[in-house]
Structure 1
Amino acid sequence: MHELYVGEYCVRPHHLVSGKLLCFSSASAAHAQQFDDQSGFISIDCGQDDSYNEKTTGINYISDTNLTDTGETKWILAEYKDLYPQIYDSLRSFPQGRRNCYRIKVTNATKYLIRASFLYGNYDRQNKLPEFQLHLGPNLWDTVSFKDVSTPTHKELIHYVPALQNYIHVCLVNTSSGVPFISALELRPLPNSTYPEQKSNSLALISRYDTGTNRPYTYPDDKLDRFWYVYNHTDWSQLNTTIDMNSSNYSSQPPSIVMKSAATPKNRTGSLDFFWEKDSADRNAKYLYYLHFAEVEKLPPNQPRLQYISKDGELFHEPFALSYLDDYYFLALEFNTEYYSFNFQG
C-alpha cells in the first residue's frame, strides 16, 4: 500500500498509473449504518437543494445553498447517473465572474482532509470538457481537467487550519477554457498525529493505492474517508487474511481492511515495481512517499520474508522482516528528483 503526496499545493505531479472511483456494494452500506461515526465531517453536495443520507456510504450530505452566493444548479445527463453515488448527480456551475468561492466554517487548530470532486457528465449538453483552476483561499491548489465525460476528477489536500482561523474559502477560477463547476466538497478532520511530515504547508495528494485487492475502499472501511484505489499487476499474486490488523498507533493510520491484503511477485525471484515521474510544472517541489507493510501470510517457522527496497536499481533501505499479523512497518520517504523507480523484493 502506498500514498504519494506533494508538499506544496501549487503544483501537481503526474503518477504513471491512474485510478477510477467505483461505487460500493450494498454490504458496505449496511456496514456504514451500523458503525456510523461522522463527527466533524462536512459533506457538501454542490447544486443539491436538500440534505440526505448517501446510501452507498451512509454519509450525511447537506446543500451548498448557504455557502455561496453565486452559481447555477445543473444536473448531469441521466445516462451517467447510475454509474456513481448520488453526490455526482447535481453540480454547481459558475458561468458568471472569473472567481467564485465557497465560505466554509471549520474548527480552528485542526488538520483536515479537504476533497473537491467533479463529474462533467455533459451537464451543459456541449460535450466539451472544460479546464479551470481550483484555489484554497488566495493560493492555487490545482488545475482541474478531465479524462472524459464520465470519469470523476478528485483533488485532495491535507491542510492545517491555524488557531485564529474559523473559515476557509474554496474558489473556482475561470481561465477562459470552459465554465468552472463543482460536484461535491468534503472536509474530514484528522488527528493531529496523522501525517506529521505535513507542517506549515499543505500536502496535495497524487495517488493512494491498495495492492492485493480487487475493489477500492473508502468510508466506512476507512474512518478518515480516504479513497484507496486498486493497484495490481498481471505478474503479481494476491495475498490476504480475514483477521483484523490494528494500525491505529501509526501516524498515517491505514485502515485494517487495506492492511489485510498484499501483493507478492508470482516469480519467487521477481519484484514489485513502482515508477513515478515528476511533473515539469515545478522542479523544486518536494514529495512524500508513504509505504505500508504487513505480513499477511503464515510462513514456515524460521523462514521469514526478508524485504529489500531498491531505488533506481540500488539498495535503498536495510532489509527487514515482519512477524505474521503481529507486526507492521511504515516508511515515509521524502524526495525531490525528477524520476523515481522503487523495487520491492522478498
Structure 2
Amino acid sequence: MERYFVYVVTFLLILHLVQAQNQTGFISVDCGLSPLASPYNAPETGLTYTSDADLVNSGKTGRVAKEFEPLYDRPTLIMRYFPEGVRNCYNLNVTRDTNYLIKATFVYGNYDGLNVVPNFDLYLGPNLWSTVSSNDTIEEIIHVTNSNSLQVCLVNTGISIPFINMLELRPLKKNMYVTQSGSLKYLFRGYISNSSTRIRFPEDVYDRKWYPLFDNSWTQLTTTLNVNTGITYELPQGVMAKAATPLEANETLNITWTIEPPTQYYSYVHFAELQNLRANDTREFNVTQNGIYTFGPFSPLPLKTASIVNSIPQQCDGGACILQLVKTLKSTLPPILNAIEAFSVIDLPQMEMTLLVLRMFKILTD
C-alpha cells in the first residue's frame, strides 16, 4: 500500500511538472540562429528556441561584443540585423482570433563596433508598435489576431540599423486582458517583493515576466502556504505568495507611474490575504485610480486570488497615474497588495481596415 502511494505521488508530481512546462502554441525564435542549428532549450527557462531562417528572407547575423557576452545567455547573444532595405519583416503562422502575448527583444551589445544607441521603428503589420531607442529593451504587446498570419517588421528611420535578438509569441485565453478596443502595450508588471528575483516561465505558464516592486514605506508579507492563484489569470505561486501593507496602519498604499498623455490605459490588480487574521481583525479598503473611486469596499479572501480589472480604459491627467488603496473606517488593518500590471491602449486601425476589406470581398464573392 505504501509503495502504491509513493507511485501515485510520483506520477502526479511528474504530471504537474509536464503540465507546468507545456509550451503548446508557443513560438520562440532565436533571431540569427543558423538554419543548420538544432532547436535548443534555454538554460534559464527550458523554453525551446528555433532559428528564424524560415521566417525572414533578409538580414545578416551578428553577435554581441565579447565584453558584453558575460551579461547575457542564449538566445540574446546573437541577433539578426538589417543593413539593407527600409522595411524588413518576419512572417509568422498564427491562429486566427487568438489572444497573443507578443514579445520582441533587442540587445545591442555593440555588435557592430559603432557604439551607437539604436533608434528604429517596430511595426505589427502595417501599424507602428513602438520605437526601439535603448541598448537593451523588450517590447511587449497583447494582441488578438485577425488572420492566420502575422507580420512583425523592423523599419529603418535613417538613424541606425535595425536588429532583433528574440521574437516570442504566447497564446492566452480569450477571457484574459479583454479590452473595449485596441491592443495592450506593456507598461509594467510587478509583484510586491523586496527581493531581486524575476519570475517567468515555467512558474508563469504564459511566460509573463514579473519584476519585484517595493517601497520603503511598505512592510513585506509572505506565506509558505499554497495560494489559489485564480482561474482566469493563472498567476504564479511566487507572485501571489508575497504582498505588502503600509508601515503605518492608517496610510494608503500608493502605486504611481507615468504615460504619454492623452494615452488611455488598463490596469490589472491582484490580491490575496496572506495573514491569519484574528477574530476581531478586519482588512477592508477601497480602490481609487487617479482620485476616482474604482472598487470597494473590498476584503481579500485568505489564500485566494481576486483580480480587479478596469472594464473601460482609464486616463491620467498630465500623464501622471496613481492607484491608491484606502483603508475604510471599519477596517482594523491596512490595505494589502500582491501584484499589479498596467498597459497602454494602442489602436491598430489599418489591421481592422484590412480585415473589413477582406470580409467585404468574401461577401461579394460568396
TM-score, normalised via structure 1 length: 0.83
Provide the residue aligned with 1:41 in structure 2: 26
Task: Return the letter of the residue paired with 1:54.
Answer: A
2:218 is the counterpart of 1:218: no
Moved more, 80-89 or 215-224: 80-89
Provide the residue aligned with 1:238 in structure 2: 220
What are the superposed Cα offsets for residues 70-96 of structure 1, whole Å, 9 maximum, x if unpaired?
111000012222223311100011111
Q: Secondary structure at the match of 1:124?
A: coil
Q: How far apart are 1:211 and its partner, in Å?
A: 0.8
**Moved >3 Å (runs of 4+):** 31-35, 310-317
Could you tell me how far apart the structure 2 residues matched to 1:129 and 1:329 are?
39
Provide the residue aligned with 1:128 in structure 2: 116
Could you tell me how far apart the structure 2 residues matched to 1:255 and 1:234 are?
24
* RMSD over aligned Cα atoms: 2.0
TM-score, normalised via structure 2 length: 0.78
Provide the residue aligned with 1:276 in structure 2: 257
Provide the residue aligned with 1:201 in structure 2: 182
Task: Return the letter of the residue paired with 1:325.
Answer: L
Quick check: which has more Rg, 1 or 2? 2
Q: Secondary structure at the match of 1:80?
A: helix
Provide the residue aligned with 1:22 in structure 2: none
Provide the residue aligned with 2:148 in structure 1: 166
Q: Secondary structure at the match of 1:81?
A: helix
Indicate how the Cα distance of structure 1 residues 193 and 329 shifts in structure 2: closer, same or farther if over 3 A, else same: closer
Provide the residue aligned with 1:318 in structure 2: 296
Could you tell me how far apart the structure 2 residues matched to 1:277 and 1:72 are?
37
Could you tell me how far apart the structure 2 residues matched to 1:337 and 1:88 are?
35
Task: Return the letter of the residue paired with 1:331.
Answer: V
Task: Return the letter of the residue paired with 1:270.
Answer: E
Higher relative CO (Cα under 8 Å, sequence separation at least 6) belongs to: 1
Q: Which of the residues 85, 91, 99 maps onto 1:103?
A: 91
Could you tell me how far apart the structure 2 residues matched to 1:177 and 1:32 are?
46
Check whether the contact 2:228–2:305 (CA below 8 A) recurs between aligned residues: no
Alignment map for 1:1-346 (pairs within 5 Å)? 35-49=20-34, 50=37, 51-146=39-134, 149=135, 152-162=136-146, 165-197=147-179, 200-214=181-195, 215-250=197-232, 252-280=233-261, 283=262, 285-313=263-291, 316-326=294-304, 328-332=306-310, 334-338=313-317, 339-345=320-326, 346=334
Task: Return the letter of the residue paired with 1:178.
Answer: S
Structure 1 unaligned spans of 5+: 1-30
Q: How far apart are 1:314 and its partner, in Å?
A: 6.0
Aligned length: 305
